[in-house]
Amino acid sequence: MECQKEKNLKNCPCTSPSCPRKGICCQCIDHHREKDQLPACYFSAETEKTYDRSIKRFIQDQE
Ligand code: SF4
Protein backbone atom coordinates (compact mmCIF):
# COMPACT_ATOMS: atom_id res chain seq x y z
CA MET A 1 0.00 0.00 0.00
CA GLU A 2 1.31 3.43 -0.94
CA CYS A 3 1.59 6.15 1.66
CA GLN A 4 -1.42 8.47 1.55
CA LYS A 5 0.57 11.50 2.74
CA GLU A 6 -0.76 14.00 0.19
CA LYS A 7 -4.35 12.94 0.83
CA ASN A 8 -3.80 12.98 4.60
CA LEU A 9 -2.30 16.49 4.51
CA LYS A 10 -5.57 17.84 3.14
CA ASN A 11 -7.31 16.81 6.36
CA CYS A 12 -4.47 17.32 8.84
CA PRO A 13 -5.30 20.08 11.38
CA CYS A 14 -1.80 20.17 12.91
CA THR A 15 -0.29 23.67 12.94
CA SER A 16 3.19 22.61 14.02
CA PRO A 17 5.31 24.33 11.35
CA SER A 18 8.19 21.94 10.81
CA CYS A 19 7.15 18.47 11.89
CA PRO A 20 8.54 15.81 9.49
CA ARG A 21 5.69 13.43 10.38
CA LYS A 22 2.91 15.69 9.15
CA GLY A 23 0.63 13.72 6.83
CA ILE A 24 2.34 10.43 7.71
CA CYS A 25 -0.30 9.37 10.20
CA CYS A 26 1.33 6.07 11.19
CA GLN A 27 4.48 7.91 12.29
CA CYS A 28 2.48 10.68 13.93
CA ILE A 29 0.46 8.26 16.05
CA ASP A 30 3.54 6.21 16.92
CA HIS A 31 5.44 9.35 17.98
CA HIS A 32 2.70 10.61 20.27
CA ARG A 33 1.72 7.22 21.62
CA GLU A 34 5.28 6.67 22.82
CA LYS A 35 4.83 9.84 24.89
CA ASP A 36 1.36 8.86 26.14
CA GLN A 37 -0.11 11.57 23.95
CA LEU A 38 -2.62 11.92 21.13
CA PRO A 39 -2.08 13.46 17.70
CA ALA A 40 -3.30 16.92 16.73
CA CYS A 41 -6.47 15.67 15.04
CA TYR A 42 -7.95 14.66 18.42
CA PHE A 43 -8.06 18.24 19.69
CA SER A 44 -10.22 21.27 19.04
CA ALA A 45 -8.63 23.89 16.80
CA GLU A 46 -8.07 26.19 19.77
CA THR A 47 -6.38 23.56 21.93
CA GLU A 48 -4.36 22.18 19.04
CA LYS A 49 -2.54 25.50 18.78
CA THR A 50 -1.13 25.05 22.30
CA TYR A 51 0.80 21.95 21.12
CA ASP A 52 -0.18 20.26 24.37
CA ARG A 53 -0.98 16.76 23.12
CA SER A 54 -1.42 15.19 26.55
CA ILE A 55 -4.32 12.90 27.38
CA LYS A 56 -5.14 15.18 30.31
CA ARG A 57 -5.54 18.12 27.95
CA PHE A 58 -7.63 15.98 25.61
CA ILE A 59 -10.05 15.20 28.46
CA GLN A 60 -10.22 18.88 29.45
CA ASP A 61 -10.92 19.70 25.82
CA GLN A 62 -14.06 17.55 25.94
CA GLU A 63 -15.60 19.48 28.88
S1 SF4 B 1 0.46 15.91 15.71
FE2 SF4 B 1 2.62 15.83 16.31
S3 SF4 B 1 3.61 14.24 15.06
FE4 SF4 B 1 1.60 14.71 14.18
S5 SF4 B 1 2.04 16.17 12.56
FE6 SF4 B 1 1.52 17.35 14.40
S7 SF4 B 1 3.44 17.73 15.51
FE8 SF4 B 1 3.80 16.15 13.94
Domain ranges of the chain: 21-62
> Cβ distance 12 to 40 under 8 Å?
yes
Low pLDDT (below 70) residues in the chain = none
pLDDT score recorded for residue 59: 98
pLDDT score recorded for residue 44: 98
> Cβ distance 42 to 58 under 8 Å?
yes
Ligand 1: nearest atom to the Cα of 51? 7
> Cβ distance 22 to 28 under 8 Å?
yes
Q: 33 alpha carbon to ligand 1 midpoint, in Å?
A: 11
Q: 48 alpha carbon to ligand 1 midpoint, in Å?
A: 10
CA dihedral 46, 49, 50, 56 (to 10 degrees): 60
pLDDT score recorded for residue 1: 86
